[in-house]
Amino acid sequence: MAKEKKLVEAITPMAEDFAQWYTDVVKKAELVEYSSVRGCMILRPDGYAIWENIMHQLDARFKETGVENVSMPLFIPESLLQKEKDHVEGFAPEVAWVTYGGNEKLEERLCVRPTSETLFCELYKKIVQSHRDLPKNYNQWCSVVRWEKTTRPFLRSVEFLWQEGHTAHATYEDAEERTIMMLNVYADFCENVLAIPVIKGRKTDKEKFAGALATYTIEALMHDGKALQSGTSHNFGDGFARAFGIQYSDKDNQLQYVHQTSWGMSTRIIGAIIMVHGDDSGLVLPPRIAPTQIMVIPIAQHKEGVLEKAEELRSELKEAGFKVKVDDSDKSPGWKFSEQEMRGIPLRVEIGPKDIEAGQCVLVRRDTREKRVVALNELTQVAGEMLEQMQNDMYARAKAFMDSHMTEARTYDEFKDAVANKPGFVEAMWCGDEACELKIKEDTTATSRCMPFQQKRISENCVCCGKPAKSLVYWGKAY
């Protein structure tokens, strides 16, 4: 029992220190290990398996919309990075530079890609000639590097895994349609697979991507009341096309610039899964993304027939399409329960000699600890129902949490009070002036998260300067 205590005691309670709780979970659930390169993390099997599931499901959704995958170089020559003015200003300060190949100094420095707009522009310039070549809907799964000073596993690291989609279109409207389409793919994936409700909206100019006309975002709310930008989609208009000279001949044989987009989701979203669903016993994974959905744990496994029965149940559940394992290690059942809970495995099946005698087993949900004694011949059916119910309940709980952490602020005093005392999003009107965003950040540390697509008019004036309001903005502290 001493050992069992140790595993749970190893995590700091969420209410005591949320940041420490997060770090503890990431480490104790064996998602991540630190490497000797500052800010670069190792994704261990359980961490990477979550990313694999995200990749497979998101990739299938991309392909349904006509996206094709490619692989672009890791390196960008300095001169190429510099071609689009806003873009280089945004990224140059935080890139890693390769200056030597073997023992030779390079004539031109190469940066390790922080994002690949410039590489895709170079490709599109080569392969797009006619309107028949459009659209190009390309994507790649890869890692990128940004030389961040302060890093945290999943949330901010020097190297991280992501996908980056880059498309080229004949018109602004086509590009805008793709931009919104991909934002909707992200939002739908978050809500239906990850059980994470999100706010869809547009970033203010201050917060948009370097080189974009418009950046759209989905914002999720973590359990500590801070927001996490969970996916972004950018419409570049023809800005990059003009900088790189990407033109096509239209149906009337006139040369036109292409219109481009890019959109990305990264391993950051794993941070969101942890901080939206986790609890003081560790990770809680939504059944649709869990690498292992069910852990069968034998009780008194040294007794005759127990391990065999556990294996039989595993095989039956696997046959029915579940991702299932048996923990037949020589640890105690209690220790196994703790581990299964720490790893966030959605459902546990307990099976011991008495259960076998009674022709039953015990199912326990990870999130609510709801326990059901189930006849063995109903196991697969009930397991399916419980997982489905858990998936839905997790979303409903997260949605209720988000809805109850929204504060409308009509005056600046209300606003400051909300940011200081009411964790979550603050809804307030804004005049459209960057100066107000800067003042708000200075005064409260809150930033504009987005101008939500679902606008409402809660007052006529900017919450900061009092001038006529242009838009409702969601504000908040953010990761």
- Residues at the interface with a copy of itself (CB under 8 A): 33, 35-37, 40-45, 47-49, 51-52, 68-77, 80, 93-103, 109-110, 112, 119, 122-123, 126-127, 132, 138, 142-143, 145, 147, 158-159, 161, 329
By beta-carbon proximity to a copy of itself, the closer residue of 43 and 269 is: 43
Residue 268 main-chain phi, psi, to 5 deg: -50, -35
Write out the two tokens for 98: 């390769």
Write out the two tokens for 350: 């307990």
C-alpha 154/C-alpha 152 separation (Å) is 6
By beta-carbon proximity to a copy of itself, the closer residue of 266 and 391 is: 266
H-only helix segments in 132-199: 172-192
- Cα dist from 24 to 29, 218, 268, 282, whole Å: 8, 27, 17, 8
Q: How far is the CB of 315 from a copy of itself (least distance, A)?
A: 16
Which of 376, 355, 360, 379 minimizes the C-alpha distance to 301?
A: 355
Q: How far is the CB of 36 from a copy of itself (least distance, A)?
A: 6
Contact, 92 vs 122, CB < 8 A? Answer: no
Q: How far is the CB of 147 from a copy of itself (least distance, A)?
A: 4
By beta-carbon proximity to a copy of itself, the closer residue of 13 and 73 is: 73
By beta-carbon proximity to a copy of itself, the closer residue of 302 and 457 is: 302
Write out the two tokens for 464: 């900061």
- Cα dist from 333 to 65, 337, 347, 351, 396, whole Å: 46, 6, 15, 10, 31
Q: How far is the CB of 344 from a copy of itself (least distance, A)?
A: 17
- Cα dist from 108 to 54, 104, 123, 322, whole Å: 37, 11, 20, 52
Dump the DSSP string for 228-249: EEEEEEEEEETHHHHHHT-EEE
C-alpha 127/C-alpha 142 separation (Å) is 22
C-alpha 27/C-alpha 203 separation (Å) is 33
By beta-carbon proximity to a copy of itself, the closer residue of 138 and 257 is: 138
By beta-carbon proximity to a copy of itself, the closer residue of 66 and 305 is: 66
Q: How far is the CB of 466 from a copy of itself (least distance, A)?
A: 40
C-alpha 353/C-alpha 294 separation (Å) is 20
By beta-carbon proximity to a copy of itself, the closer residue of 244 and 337 is: 244
Q: How far is the CB of 109 from a copy of itself (least distance, A)?
A: 8
C-alpha 479/C-alpha 475 separation (Å) is 13
Write out the two tokens for 281: 């016993």
Write out the two tokens for 68: 């094709």
Q: How far is the CB of 376 from a copy of itself (least distance, A)?
A: 28
Q: Which residue has the tokens 């220790």?
A: 335
Q: How far is the CB of 122 from a copy of itself (least distance, A)?
A: 6
By beta-carbon proximity to a copy of itself, the closer residue of 18 and 75 is: 75
By beta-carbon proximity to a copy of itself, the closer residue of 124 and 474 is: 124
Q: How far is the CB of 94 from a copy of itself (least distance, A)?
A: 5
Write out the two tokens for 173: 């409207």
Q: How far is the CB of 101 from a copy of itself (least distance, A)?
A: 4
By beta-carbon proximity to a copy of itself, the closer residue of 41 and 324 is: 41
C-alpha 111/C-alpha 97 separation (Å) is 4
Region of residue 232 (left: phi > 0; alpha: psi -120 to 50; beta: else):
beta
